[in-house]
A and B are shown apart, each in its own frame.
Chain A
Amino acid sequence: MGNLLAETSNHKWGMVIDQDLCTGCQACVTACAMENNISFVGEVDAGYGRSMHWIRIERFWDGEFPDVKATTFQPVLCQQCGHAPCEPVCPVYASVHSQAEQTNLQVYNRCVGTRYCANNCPYQVRAFNWRDFPRPEPLSNQLHPDVTVRRRGVMEKCTFCLQRILKAEDAANAESRQLTDGEVVTACSQVCPTGAIIFGRLDDPESLVSHLVRDGRAVQLLEELGTLPSVTYLKGGSSYGRNG
């Protein structure tokens, strides 16, 4: 993956999630699992809070049946914080900041599994490989060749589909041109049926993401903590979208 040409580019990647468009269909969760070789942990472990999905759809409701009031769905993934609490606490530098992509990198080969990063993540988006999950033939055919397969004892999390970013940057550099907006889509953004997930470069003022972060509905999760997340949520409430 390490490519000198990609390292010289200095983009800031960001994401906007429109909660008023999200239907909670979980296509993003599925696509992410397929794209990033995420293991299936089984019913028991998943029920015990050990599912390894890099993005999860949070749903909340108010009241008791039959007067239940549902709120908007909240897809939560790694916020790729500018001021990431997970970074300073890793004793072996497995959680570091990418200067080129302005995202948070999880270095699988370096992780020794102390799990301090996961404890310190206020969004609880990090997934730990509690066991080895074998993929007997022919399941191994579903693995994405551009993405490492992680073993037990290693922490993982959303990478903004770094493999897609680097591939697109390589192609753009090879053709001596700039990346166009919409050329790089993360798996979750690509598959969302309502277009609720938009991905792009925040350092490009003309990109769709840059327009949307200036929207009146824009909020950030746990903004008061000062983590400077790269993910912005658009949330308008009852006058927009769903019955909430």
Chain B
Amino acid sequence: MSEIKTLLALFADIDPAVQAIDQLREQGVSDEQMTVISGIPLTEAMLGRPRVWSNVPRLALGGAVAGMLIGIFLAVVVPNLYPIQVGRQALIAGAPTVVVLFEMTMLGMLVSTFLGVFLDSHFPSYRPKEYIEEISDGKIAILFSIPDEKETVITSALNGIGAQSITPAERRQL
């Protein structure tokens, strides 16, 4: 068995990058063995890549439900446990309950969305990672893993497409 090498190819524009992705697929690199790293969000449609599964919407919904339950607890359960009558208003009044429920639902949804990003992207993560600083300057990098023997073929193909650099991907402290 030959070794698996991880390379980082850098492109200046979308079109060469997309061509490179197609080229890599032709060479037998599967979609899971590729990652595109860029300085602006490039949609899967633009890149011709499979959709990324995101837990964020599900977590947002779950957070909204959790928030609503907390709101119900505060507005309905608590006054029943410790009843204090004020101003001849019913203990559980409609209007104040709506306000509390709304705010707690929104709070739950938004906090869980935020934490969902952290969870899904494994933030914060300060371990060394494969990265090149030019990416935040607008370059597009493709991180891919290939068996050793294919290196020369793929490298020359990508260079033909217009790669600015193809380097072995090393994990460095960001």
Contact = CB atoms under 8 A, between A and B. Distances in A.
A and B directly contacting (CB within 8 A): yes
Interface of A: 82-88, 90, 93, 95-97, 99, 228
20 contacts: A83-B87, A83-B88, A84-B86, A84-B87, A84-B88, A85-B87, A86-B87, A87-B86, A87-B87, A88-B86, A90-B86, A93-B84, A93-B86, A95-B86, A96-B84, A96-B86, A97-B85, A97-B86, A97-B87, A228-B88
Contacts of B85: 96-97, 99
Nearest to A95: B86
A97 B89 CA distance: 11
Contacts of A93: 84, 86
B87 A88 contact: yes
Interface residues of B, number: 6
Interface of B: 84-89
A86 B89 CA distance: 12
A96 B89 CA distance: 12
Given A96-B85, A96-B86, 11 more contacts: A83-B88, A84-B87, A86-B87, A88-B86, A88-B89, A93-B86, A96-B84, A97-B85, A97-B87, A99-B85, A228-B88
Interface of A is mostly: loop
A2 to B, nearest CB: 15
Contacts of A85: 87
A87 B88 CA distance: 9
Contacts of A86: 87
A105 to B, nearest CB: 11
Contact of A82 (B84, B86, B88, B89): B88
Contacts of B84: 93, 96
Closest 4 CB pairs of A and B: A87-B87, A87-B86, A88-B87, A83-B88
Nearest to B86: A87
A100 B89 CA distance: 18
Nearest to A81: B87
Contacts of A99: 85
B138 to A, nearest CB: 51
A228 B87 CA distance: 11
Nearest to A83: B88
Contacts of A97: 85-87
Contacts of B88: 82-84, 228
B66 to A, nearest CB: 24
A105 B61 CA distance: 43
Contacts of B87: 83-88, 97
